[in-house]
Amino acid sequence: MTSAPVQEGVIDLLVASMTWEQKLAQLQIAFRPRLEDAADLVRSGIGAVFWPRSAASTNELQRIAREETPHGIPLLVGLDVVHGQRTTFPVPLAQAASFDPATAETDARVSAHEAASGGVNWTFSPMIDVSRDPRWGRVVEGFGEDAYVNAVFGASKVRGYQGESLRDRDSILACAKHFVAYGQAEGGRDYNTVDVSMQRLRNVYLEPFKATVDAGVATVMAAFNTVSGRPAHANHLLLTSILKGEFGFNGVVVGDADGVVNLLDHGIAEDLPDALLQSFAAGLDVEMGGNVLSDDGRLRLSPGDVPLERVDDAVRRVLNLKLALGLFDDPYREADHEVTTPSPASRRATLMAAEKGLVLLKNESVLPLGPAPKRVLLVGPYAESTDHLGAWIQSFAEPTGSLADAIGEECPEWSLTVREGTGFFGGQSGHIADAVADAADFDAVVVAVGEPSALTGEASSRSDLRLPGAQEELIRAVAATGAAVAIVMFNGRPLVTSGWIGAVPAILEAWHSGLEGPRAVARALSGAVNPGGRLPMTFPRSSSQVPIYYDHENTGRPATVSGSLDGAAVDVALMGPGNTDDHYTSKYKDLDLGPQFPFGHGLSYTSFEYGDLSLTHSRITMEDLRAGQSIEVTIDVTNTGPCKGDEVTMLFIRDLVASLAQPVRRLRGFTRSSLQPGETITLSFELGWNDLGFWDNEGLYIVEPGAFEIHVGGGLDDTRVFNLHLRP
């Protein structure tokens, strides 16, 4: 957790000299928008505050803490720096689409530098809640449906925020959230019930948190939801036995905003003191909301309500972090060095991140449009909208321009005509006919649609995943003109496109891609950049098809098409559309099988071909594997197309027979490669004990002998398969 050697002596002396009230005051964080109110809170001894919006204000609060409180304990200063402070990076879901963890680490590094310069020393990020239900608005904040992708990206963000040492001036505490399984909220309704088996809890939801703990994350935030009946905020099994005990987490567990207060509505606490008591006893260390002290300054917990050693442990954890950050030596920031606007370098970094997150969903010879002079019609609510920063962006983030602005700058040879056609929420559909009447006269029509960021993020679940308002009507109207059409989608979750996808030849998924998102899209439309991103979440055919995800169990009656593709029987549940002649199988009678676009889907302006797969072992014993022997998997990939491009190569395993039903695929490795036309590279992956096993319902990790399939290629529907035999 901390790289600095902890000076236990200092901490022990301090804890021994603190009163009960002073200890409890360290175990909460509160937000007071007015500086004078925050100052009063600090004088009362509170250990942490939300960022007061400037280095100067933060310095004043730190000064009060250092000079006007009995022990002069400096403050933790927290803020949700989720994907940017002044320079906004693409939303985390878009970063996951890059399948390039360095993108996330760069975001975290730049964000930490900018936030730390203002006095922030704690961010409530990364969010690593695996979710398979795009109705849930918070899918935008995480890294998609796969546990391994969330684990890799979460660990990268931790390294980016915390740097080589927490004492570095540009390092801030990271916070893995929300512990745990928040992404399985029933019905995709935020804050709702989660009831999950132990095997799924460990194989899917806990894996990313273990990865961030192993990466040294300093804090973890408890989730709002129950986990199999017990709210996470008061769940001793989760917070203490698994997180602190089994995972060895020695940092701070912080509650979510009023998550302790919510225990009353959960119906597991009589009153606020009871809620606080249950939470701290379960392993919570810091309450978020300032409810430990009542407004008149009275403590809500008396000595003995919570075992003193538990309180002292929590205080030590908090003070250890303050020591590791170097706050006891110097909690102040040079106010005139505060970063308040993006630098050219940070703009370049977020532009690259936005370009890497673009996913070409469909392209029948329309894109790229090329830089040469041409008449282009740009229509749709996102033609001139500047709503590209996405969820969790603060008021002080640098604003961005529109797609129309970016095209004007990046495609100067184009003659651009811009018409809105319709708004986000309909009502203006009467403009559609006017907007598209002469569409066929243009060389190309770009339709910029999407969901406004206000429909994404916390407390923003949607029951209908289609484009809101009359946007589908606009798309169909443009398609009906026979013009060369390209759709660009700006959204924060998988959307349903089935109402119009058959009518259009090209779709570019652009997400809410941050400060330079519009520029990235303009460059992709012209061909200056070749999209190489892949979907980190499955796109369903219908809102009622969710949850839908790639690493599903096969079930006892999988629906498959009996036909074939290039002579090889395919499992259509993986491959997508196609009806089935199997009656008694798992499917909807009124919907084609499989998703609209599967996890990992993404096209390119070029093409790639894979060579043969080879493994160092086609058979290996359990004993060798347990002893640390690994299997090296290698494959060649070649750019066989006309231009430079990035290819994401993925490695999946399938355990064909096991004591628990296993997913039809599990991602265990991925890499993104840039290849010039004609270039071939050899990629290698390692598979070991920790890749071939699974957790059972008794909480044991087991590897079982038998046959495995190793799939490697450019995604679910494009892999070379190798059979591996694990001998007893």
Binding site for ligand GLC (CB under 6 A): 80, 124, 177, 256-257, 458
Q: Is 256 a catalytic residue?
A: yes
Q: What is the DSSP string of 313-338?
A: HHHHHHHHHHHHTTTTT-----GGG-
User: Within 13 A of 447's CA, how many CA atoms are on the CB side?
Assistant: 34
Sign of torsion, CA 573 576 581 587?
A: positive
Tell me whether strands 122-123 and 76-79 are parallel, antiparallel or unpaired. Answer: parallel
Mapping DSSP onto H, E and C, the string for 582-645 reads CCCCECCCCCCCCCCECCCCCECCCCEEECCCEECCCEEEHHHHHCCCCEEEEEEEEECCCCCE
CA-nearest of 263, 284, 286 to 274 is: 263
Return the beta strands (E) in 144-250 as ranges.
175-179, 219-222, 226-227, 230-231
Sign of torsion, CA 272 274 277 279?
A: negative
Query: For ligand GLC, which is the closer residue by CB, 174 or 716?
Result: 174
Query: For ligand GLC, which is the closer residue by CB, 189 or 374?
Result: 189
Could you say which of 129, 190, 256, 646 is catalytic? 256
Q: Compute φ and ψ for 608, nearest 5 degrees.
A: -135, 150
Structure tokens belonging to residue 660: 């628990």
User: Within 13 A of 233's CA, how many CA atoms are on the CB side?
Assistant: 29
Task: Note whether 653 and 691 are within 8 A (CB).
Answer: yes
Structure tokens belonging to residue 670: 């991925």
Query: For ligand GLC, which is the closer residue by CB, 38 or 444?
Result: 38
Query: For ligand GLC, which is the closer residue by CB, 232 or 293?
Result: 232
Task: Note whether 325 and 33 are within 8 A (CB).
Answer: no
> Of all residues in this chain, which one has the CB nearest to ligand GLC in the complex?
124
SS3 state of residue 272: helix
Query: For ligand GLC, which is the closer residue by CB, 232 or 525?
Result: 232
Peptide bond before residue 74 is cis, with ω within 30 degrees of 0? no
- Tell me how far apart the alpha carbons of residues 371 and 139 are, in angstroms, rounded to a whole number: 35
145-162 b/e (C-beta count within 10 Å ≥ 16 → b)? bbbbbbbbbbbbbbbbbb
CB of 459 to ligand GLC, least distance (A): 8
- Tell me how far apart the alpha carbons of residues 66 and 24 are, in angstroms, rounded to a whole number: 18
Query: For ligand GLC, which is the closer residue by CB, 161 or 605?
Result: 161
CB of 262 to ligand GLC, least distance (A): 10
Name every residue whose Cβ is closer than 8 Å to that of residue 612 and which is 6 or more positions away in sequence: 635, 636, 720
CB of 177 to ligand GLC, least distance (A): 6
- Tell me how far apart the alpha carbons of residues 521 and 508 are, in angstroms, rounded to a whole number: 8
Structure tokens belonging to residue 727: 């001998």
CB of 141 to ligand GLC, least distance (A): 7
- Distance in Å from the first CA to the final CA of the chain: 38
SS3 state of residue 570: coil
CB of 258 to ligand GLC, least distance (A): 8
CB of 252 to ligand GLC, least distance (A): 14
Query: For ligand GLC, which is the closer residue by CB, 127 or 349?
Result: 127
Burial of residue 521, with CB atoms counted within 10 A of its CB: 0-12 exposed, 13-18 middle, 19 or more buried: buried
Query: For ligand GLC, which is the closer residue by CB, 112 or 521?
Result: 112
- Tell me how far apart the alpha carbons of residues 646 and 673 are, in angstroms, rounded to a whole number: 5
Query: For ligand GLC, which is the closer residue by CB, 137 or 331?
Result: 137
CB of 444 to ligand GLC, least distance (A): 41
CB of 311 to ligand GLC, least distance (A): 23
CB of 193 to ligand GLC, least distance (A): 17
Task: Note whether 664 and 710 are within 8 A (CB).
Answer: no
H helices of 411-516, in order, are: 431-436, 471-480
CB of 462 to ligand GLC, least distance (A): 18
Look up residue 203 and give its amino acid. N
- Tell me how far apart the alpha carbons of residues 583 and 560 are, in angstroms, rounded to a whole number: 10
Structure tokens belonging to residue 199: 């095997």
Query: For ligand GLC, which is the closer residue by CB, 177 or 322?
Result: 177
- Positions marked active-site: 256
